[in-house]
Each structure stands twice: as structure tokens, then as C-alpha cells.
């Protein structure tokens, strides 16, 4: 039996080391989420190990090379030279850590069920190296209950008790890659621990680098809140996508309608239509919530409907391209179509789940002579074809029969595009200012 003093001294010791920045931190998964977090902790003097199983990523980090647009090589080099950041693929280093953050991917299976493979393998590696006094925080987006139902038993199986021997919490990551206004430091961080002390220790950790930390009542609340945030976006984007189709039928400009509604100072939060949804979060996360709700006997409807509407948008865009070409007496087959943007959102290189991929695949299937421009994405695989990006210059644009704006990267010269292309299909309202200079079809 451990004495009350012994239990208290473990948490006190950890608390002191968090405040003094002497705790050793390991971040598992050096992706869009884990890497910026690791760099931020290393900057303020914590000793941070960045664990990454992808050897290519690990080698890049060791050389001080960033593969994430929001971080420069100099950001990585700074903390490596400072001696506070150590990238490695050696999971045994977890035994040296006082704090472990899990930032691994949480994809979906083909059946749209959660795929927790990466959380499970990270959890196993942590369990193998678990020791008393460690704080473990899951940051990967997942369904309510993952921290307590999956990770907690894996660790307690080792004969240790949460809140006494080790500490466990969930803290959702809200980073928005490519957003210059918000980064790790100024996005409010939610923390929900399995016990009160778990919450307190986790909150103290983040308070060392984040301007505002909010303690919530449980890990489940923290897990569910992240899914609510992303389901909210998915459903509202779907509503605007449907509104854009309704407006087409009614011959009203949906973008004008949204701008007009957004003048209301309360009760309306503008969302915008687009070619579909992409990235690692919005298309996936709501299905984590559905899956868990279904297990408890409730079939969510909003999530399914939003997924259906958003998922149909790439076909709607192709219909618009077909209509636009048809107006000029052309068919998709044989027409030169230039896609602007492969990434799922502006000014980032991430093209996971990007609707651009599906739009390109359908257009190729329909016989278009297709090329794409994206300064952030040099190459993509579309079906069986490998496509290399071309530059969106006057030559490329003026040779096209139709240019389709899928991603509104800031790098594109929209005035030139409208002037030089015979037809523009714009799914992002990016060319609005120049619409009078050419022939633009808006979503």
C-alpha cells in the first residue's frame, strides 16, 4: 500500500517539473498536430523527444527539414541547436519521458468505422515503458470513451492506478493548418482528465505554452466537444452546399444571399458552400460520433445527411463544368480542363480527402484532357494516373477550354485567370471581383 504522502509527492513532483520546464516530454506522431506542439514545448525549454515511425519524416526532422507549411526549417533547427528537440523512431525512449502526448492519426475504415490502429500501437508502446509518475495525454480526435475504455485498461493492466501512480487525460487539438491568425499558442486548449489531478496536471502543462486553458469535467466531455466542433462544421457546410443548389434552381446568387444574411449581428454564423469537404478532420470525425452513438442504440441522422450532401458536391461541380462547356458548344470529352488546386483548403499542401481528387477522377473518366495547378502539391495520383502540377501562367490558362477553381490559394492570379480562360467554373467565389472581365460560372 502506498501512503497518502507517497501519492501526493508523485503528483507534486510532476507539477513542480511542469512549472519549472524540467519535465521530459515525448510527443508520439510528428504530423500536422504533433510537430508544432513539440516545437512549442521545446522553445520554452522543455526537453522534447519527437517520436515518429515514418523513417522519411524522422530523417527530415533530424536534418532540421520541415514538411509542414506552418513551420519553417529554421523553427526546427532552432530547437535542435538549442538541444531541446530530439526526433527519433525509437519507441523505447518513452521510458525516459515524464509526459507523453499522443498525436497519431485516427482514420476511418472503408466501412466508415473508426480505425484506432495507431492509438492502439502507441498505447502498447507506452504501456511497455510505463512508469510511476508519468502523465499521458491523448490529443488524437476520437470518439467519447476512447481514453477511459481503451487506453486506461491498457495501462492499469500493468499494475498501476490512474490518479495515483500515473495520470491520464484527453485534450483535443484544434490547430488550423495554414491559418496565420491562430496557432498552438493562441487557440484555447480544452483539458479533461480521468481524475481531477489528471486534469490539473495536464492543464498546468499546456499553460506553459498556451494563452488560455479550459478544464472540463471529464475526458469524455473533451472527446465529445471536439467531435461536436467538427460535426457542426460538416453540417453547416452541408447546409450551405444544399442552399447553393436551391439557389441555382431559384436563380439567386448564393454568395450574395450568405453575405446578406451575415449582416445580422446575432443568430447567424456564415458558412460557405464549396466543391465538397476534405482534410483529415471534417469528413472523418463526425463518423466517430455516429459510430459510438450507434453502438449505444441511437442512429444519428444529421451526420449521415451532411455526409451525403457534402459527398455529392464533386459530382455537382462536374455537372457545372459540363453545363459551362455545353454553353460553348463543347463536351467534357476532348476538352482541355485545368483544375486550380489539389489541396483541400487554401495555402496548404495537405490533399488528404480533398474533393479535387474525386473531381479530377470523374473528369478524366469522362474524357477530359486534364491538368492541374497547385503551387503546394507537386504531384498527385488520380485513379491510376500520376499527374504533375503545371504552373498557372497565361500560357496554361489561355490554352484551356475551361478552368475550374477548386482551392482558392492566394498564389493564383484570379484577374489573369478570368481574362485569359474562355470559361471559369468557380466553386469558391474567388474570382468575384473580376467576374465582369470574362465568363464565370459560380457554384
Ligand X SMILES: NC(=O)c1ccc[n+]([C@@H]2O[C@H](COP(=O)([O-])OP(=O)(O)OC[C@H]3O[C@@H](n4cnc5c(N)ncnc54)[C@H](O)[C@@H]3O)[C@@H](O)[C@H]2O)c1
**Is the backbone of residue 64 left (phi > 0), alpha (psi -120 to 50) or beta?**
left
Tell me the closest approach of the beta carbon of residue 125 to ligand X, in angstroms. Answer: 6
Give the residue, chosen from 177, 192, 278, 286, that forms a contact with ligand X under the rule CB under 6 A: 177
Using DSSP's 3-state secondary structure scheme, residue 199 falls into helix
**Is the backbone of residue 133 left (phi > 0), alpha (psi -120 to 50) or beta?**
left
User: Is residue 65 a contact point for ligand X (CB under 6 A)?
Assistant: no
Give the residue, chosen from 47, 52, 75, 361, that forms a contact with ligand X under the rule CB under 6 A: 52
* 281 tagged catalytic: yes
Give the residue, chosen from 97, 101, 122, 418, that forms a contact with ligand X under the rule CB under 6 A: 122
Task: Give the chain's length.
Answer: 443
Interface segment toward ligand X; rule CB under 6 A; list 42-50, 52-60, 108-116, 318-326:
52-60
HEC string of 90-134 equals: CHHHHHHCCEEEECCCCCECCCCCECCHHHHHHHHHHHHCCCCCC
Give the residue, chosen from 26, 39, 104, 362, that forms a contact with ligand X under the rule CB under 6 A: 104
**Cell numbers describing residue 265:** 449581428
H-helix or E-strand containing 324?
Answer: helix 302-327
Cβ distance to ligand X smaller for residue 193 or 279: 279
Distance CA 222, CA 177 (A): 21
Distance CA 353, CA 344 (A): 7
Residue nearest to ligand X (CB): 31
Interface segment toward ligand X; rule CB under 6 A; list 40-48, 118-126, 154-162, 298-306:
118-126
Contact 29, 88 (CB under 8 A): no
Give every CB contact of residue 277 below 8 A, 6+ residues apart in sequence. 234, 237, 283, 310, 313, 344, 353, 355
Beta strands in 266-342 (DSSP E): 336-340
Give the residue, chosen from 51, 126, 136, 224, that forms a contact with ligand X under the rule CB under 6 A: 51
Tell me the closest approach of the beta carbon of residue 175 to ligand X, in angstroms. Answer: 5
**Contacts with ligand X in 127-156 (CB under 6 A)?**
140-141
For the chain, give the longest Cα–Cα distance.
84
Cβ distance to ligand X smaller for residue 91 or 418: 91
Cβ distance to ligand X smaller for residue 105 or 346: 105
Tell me the closest approach of the beta carbon of residue 130 to ligand X, in angstroms. Answer: 15
Tell me the closest approach of the beta carbon of residue 427 to ligand X, in angstroms. Answer: 21
Residue 433 DSSP class: G
Interface segment toward ligand X; rule CB under 6 A; list 53-61, 79-87, 321-329, 376-384:
53-61
Contact 146, 180 (CB under 8 A): no
Interface segment toward ligand X; rule CB under 6 A; list 32-40, 216-224, 305-313, 314-322:
32-40
What is each CA distance from 388 to 261, 351, 371, 373, in whole angstroms?
Answer: 41, 14, 8, 9
Give the residue, chosen from 7, 24, 43, 53, that forms a contact with ligand X under the rule CB under 6 A: 53
What is the DSSP annotation of 336-381? EEEEE--SSSTT----TT-HHHHHHHHHHHTT-EEEEE-TT--EEE
Give the residue, chosen from 45, 105, 163, 346, that forms a contact with ligand X under the rule CB under 6 A: 105
H-helix or E-strand containing 286?
Answer: helix 285-295
Tell me the closest approach of the beta carbon of residue 183 to ligand X, in angstroms. Answer: 12
Contact mark string toward ligand X, 257..296, x via CB under 6 A: -----------------------xx---------------
**Contacts with ligand X in 298-357 (CB under 6 A)?**
none
Give the residue, chosen from 32, 167, 170, 376, that forms a contact with ligand X under the rule CB under 6 A: 32
Contact 347, 376 (CB under 8 A): yes
- CA atoms 219, 220, 221, 224: torsion sign: positive
Cβ distance to ligand X smaller for residue 54 or 323: 54
Cβ distance to ligand X smaller for residue 31 or 355: 31
What is the DSSP annotation of 31-83? STTHHHHHHHHHHTT-EEEEE-S-HHHHHHHHTT---STTS-HHHHHHHHHTT
Site size toward ligand X (CB under 6 A) is 26
Q: Give the number of other CB atoms < 10 A from CB of residue 53.
A: 16
Active-site pick, 103, 247, 281, 402: 281
Give the residue, chosen from 135, 151, 175, 387, that forms a contact with ligand X under the rule CB under 6 A: 175
Give the residue, chosen from 10, 11, 23, 29, that forms a contact with ligand X under the rule CB under 6 A: 29
Tell me the closest approach of the beta carbon of residue 226 to ligand X, in angstroms. Answer: 7
Give the residue, chosen from 57, 86, 316, 428, that forms a contact with ligand X under the rule CB under 6 A: 57
Please give the positions annotated as active site.
Answer: 281
Binding site for ligand X (CB under 6 A): 28-34, 51-54, 57, 103-106, 118, 121-122, 140-141, 173, 175, 177, 280-281
Amino acid at each position: 500500500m502506498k501512503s497518502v504522502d507517497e501519492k501526493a509527492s508523485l503528483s507534486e513532483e510532476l507539477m513542480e517539473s511542469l512549472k519549472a520546464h524540467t519535465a521530459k516530454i515525448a510527443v508520439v506522431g510528428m504530423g500536422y498536430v504533433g510537430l508544432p506542439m513539440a516545437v512549442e514545448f521545446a522553445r520554452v525549454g522543455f526537453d522534447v523527444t519527437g517520436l515518429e515511425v515514418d523513417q522519411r519524416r524522422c530523417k527530415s526532422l533530424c536534418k532540421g527539414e520541415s514538411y509542414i507549411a506552418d513551420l519553417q526549417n529554421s523553427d526546427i533547427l532552432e530547437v535542435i541547436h538549442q538541444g531541446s528537440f530530439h526526433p527519433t523512431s525509437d519507441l523505447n525512449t518513452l521510458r525516459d519521458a515524464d509526459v507523453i502526448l499522443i498525436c497519431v492519426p485516427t482514420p476511418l475504415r472503408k466501412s466508415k468505422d473508426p480505425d484506432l490502429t495507431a492509438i492502439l500501437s502507441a498505447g502498447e508502446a507506452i504501456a511497455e515503458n510505463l512508469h510511476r509518475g508519468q502523465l499521458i495525454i491523448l490529443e488524437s480526435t476520437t470518439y467519447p470513451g476512447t481514453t477511459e475504455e481503451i487506453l486506461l485498461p491498457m495501462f492499469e493492466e500493468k499494475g498501476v492506478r490512474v490518479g495515483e501512480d500515473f495520470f491520464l487525460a484527453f485534450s483535443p487539438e484544434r490547430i488550423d493548418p495554414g491559418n496565420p491568425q491562430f496557432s498552438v499558442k493562441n487557440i484555447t486548449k480544452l483539458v479533461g482528465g480521468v481524475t481531477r489531478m489528471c486534469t490539473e496536471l495536464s492543464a498546468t502543462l499546456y499553460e506553459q505554452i498556451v494563452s488560455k486553458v479550459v478544464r472540463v469535467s471529464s475526458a469524455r466531455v473533451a472527446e465529445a466537444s471536439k467531435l461536436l466542433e467538427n460535426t457542426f462544421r460538416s453540417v453547416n457546410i452541408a447546409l450551405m452546399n444544399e442552399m447553393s443548389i436551391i439557389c441555382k434552381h431559384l436563380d439567386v446568387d448564393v454568395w450574395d444571399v450568405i453575405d446578406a444574411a451575415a449582416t445580422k449581428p446575432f443568430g447567424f454564423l456564415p458558412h460557405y458552400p464549396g466543391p465538397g469537404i476534405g482534410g483529415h478532420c471534417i469528413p472523418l470525425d463526425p463518423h466517430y460520433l455516429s459510430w459510438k452513438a450507434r453502438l449505444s442504440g441511437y442512429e444519428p441522422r444529421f451526420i449521415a445527411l451532411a455526409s451525403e450532401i457534402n459527398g455529392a458536391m464533386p459530382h455537382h461541380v462536374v455537372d457545372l463544368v459540363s453545363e459551362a462547356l455545353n454553353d460553348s458548344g463543347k463536351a467534357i470529352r476532348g476538352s482541355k480542363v485545368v483544375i486550380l488546386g489539389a489541396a483541400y483548403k487554401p495555402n496548404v499542401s495537405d490533399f488528404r480527402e480533398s474533393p479535387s481528387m474525386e473531381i479530377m477522377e470523374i473528369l478524366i473518366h469522362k474524357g477530359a484532357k486534364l491538368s492541374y495547378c497547385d503551387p503546394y502539391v507537386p504531384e498527385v495520383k488520380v485513379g491510376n494516373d500520376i499527374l504533375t502540377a503545371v504552373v498557372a501562367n497565361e500560357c496554361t490558362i489561355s490554352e484551356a477550354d475551361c478552368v475550374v477553381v477548386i482551392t482558392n490559394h492566394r498564389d493564383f492570379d484570379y484577374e489573369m485567370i478570368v481574362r485569359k480562360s474562355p470559361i471559369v467554373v468557380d466553386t469558391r467565389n474567388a474570382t468575384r471581383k473580376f467576374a465582369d472581365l470574362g465568363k464565370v460560372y459560380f457554384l
